[in-house]
Amino acid sequence: MTAFLQNCFAGLALGSTYALVALGFVVIFKSTGVINFAQGGLLALGAYLGYTFSNNLLLGFGVAILLACLAAALVGAGFERIVLRRMVGQPPFAVIMITIGLLFILEPVITAIWGFDNLQVRNPWNINTVELGGLVFGVKDLWTIGLTTAVVIGFFAFFKYSPLGLAMRVTAFDPEAALAQGISARRVYAVSWAIAAALAALAGIAMAAGPGGLSPSIGFIALAAFPAMIVGGMDSPGGAVLGGLVIGLAEALTRGYQDQLFSWAGDNVSIIVPYILMIVILLIRPYGLLGTKDVRRV
């Protein structure tokens, strides 16, 4: 039982990270109809910026997180402003290719600045643990879950109650009618990119603060969050969070019981579990767990 709970906790922590990234995917997809493949690059950029703020500028870790998120948001919004705005009204496919291009540009830029070495972010969490009732909780995992919860609640409140959140929802539903109300689609697109980039940066720093440290391959986690977005439903923010948690739990539980149940499948079976789960769920519900049945723009 202890082992099971321990695994579930690990799954929730991992799932929180997935949820943040998947939420970023959904925000951009919902408002612009484009899947942003550069999410992993933005995540890595955010993590490395956090490293610079924390290690080189010796800022407090909380401040470093905040600044890294802001900086990533600026990069995201700036990219939208400079490149993607010219692509409004063009086929989504072309825009998706541009985001892939951005991913491949971000990676070498990051390694050129910070190098290939594995870096350790100066942070108060590290590998500290708290023990409670026989269970061992990583401080970093607790913070990841806590921060994700707070950010997700904040995000949904913003989406539901603020005028800008309302503008984002109606623009996603009917861009022309939104335009006729005087809602600036440009601002909505820029804000979507800023939010997605900030979420990715937060996920990146949370990961980098863990025992794994920070290396250029950190962006690959976005690939695992991708199934989370699909599982949840591409146009559903709630689905992204749910999908992230489901995928995280599945991955952690597989890893935890791999010795006993899946020893024949080799050590890395947990890595493919998200994709297997994605395929199975898509076979049963092609539009994802909470997605709209009729997703118009794919």
Partner 1 sequence: MLSVSNLEVVYDDVVLVLRGLSLDVPAGSIVAVLGANGAGKTTLLRAVTGLLGPHRGRITKGTVRLDGEDITGADPAKIVRRGIAQVLEGRRVFAEITVDENLKAGAYTRRSRAEVKESYARVLDLFPVLAQRRKSIAGYLSGGEQQMLAIGRALMASPRLLLLDEPSLGLAPRLVEQVRDIIVQINQQGTSVLLIEQNAVMALAIANSGYVLENGKVVKDGPAADLLADEDIREFYLGSGERRSFADVKSYRRRKRWSA
**# of chain residues touching partner 1 (CB under 8 A):** 18
**Residue 180: CB minimum distance to partner 1, A:** 5
Q: Which is nearer to partner 1, 59 or 167 (CB)?
A: 167
Three-class SS of residue 124? coil
Among 12, 290, 20, which residue's Cα sits nearest to residue 153?
A: 20
Distant-in-sequence, close-in-space partners of 21: CB < 8 Å, separation ≥ 6: 39, 40, 43, 199, 200, 203, 221, 222, 225, 228, 244
Q: Is 285 in the site for partner 1 (CB under 8 A)?
A: no
Q: Which residues ranging from 52 to 91 are in contact with partner 1 (CB under 8 A)?
A: 89
The number of residues in the chain equals 298
**Residue 186: CB minimum distance to partner 1, A:** 9
Task: Answer whether 47's CB lies under 8 Å from 207's CB.
Answer: yes
Q: Which residues ranging from 84 to 123 are in contact with partner 1 (CB under 8 A)?
A: 89
Binding-residue pattern over the window 255 to 274 for partner 1, x denoting contact by CB under 8 A = --------------------
Task: Answer whether 232's CB lies under 8 Å from 22's CB.
Answer: yes
First to last CA, the chain: 43
Q: Is 293 in the site for partner 1 (CB under 8 A)?
A: no
Task: Answer whether 50's CB lies under 8 Å from 65's CB.
Answer: yes
Binding-residue pattern over the window 138 to 177 for partner 1, x denoting contact by CB under 8 A = -------------------------x--xx-xx--xxxxx
Q: Which is nearer to partner 1, 188 or 196 (CB)?
A: 188
Dig out the tokens for 251 from the structure: 């991955």
Task: Report helix, strand and coil shares of the chain as percent, to nearest 5.
Answer: 75, 5, 20
**Residue 160: CB minimum distance to partner 1, A:** 9
251-281: buried (b, 16+ CB within 10 Å) or exposed (e) per residue? bbbbbbebeeeeeeeeeebbeebbeebbeeb
Q: Is 133 in the site for partner 1 (CB under 8 A)?
A: no
**Residue 165: CB minimum distance to partner 1, A:** 10
Q: Is 181 in the site for partner 1 (CB under 8 A)?
A: yes
**Residue 294: CB minimum distance to partner 1, A:** 12
**Residue 88: CB minimum distance to partner 1, A:** 9
Q: Which is nearer to partner 1, 128 or 181 (CB)?
A: 181
Among 238, 26, 16, which residue's Cα sits nearest to residue 149?
A: 16
**Residue 23: CB minimum distance to partner 1, A:** 19
Among 118, 184, 217, 263, binds partner 1 (CB under 8 A): 184
Three-class SS of residue 262? coil
Per CB under 8 A, residues contacting partner 1 are 89, 163, 166-167, 169-170, 173-184
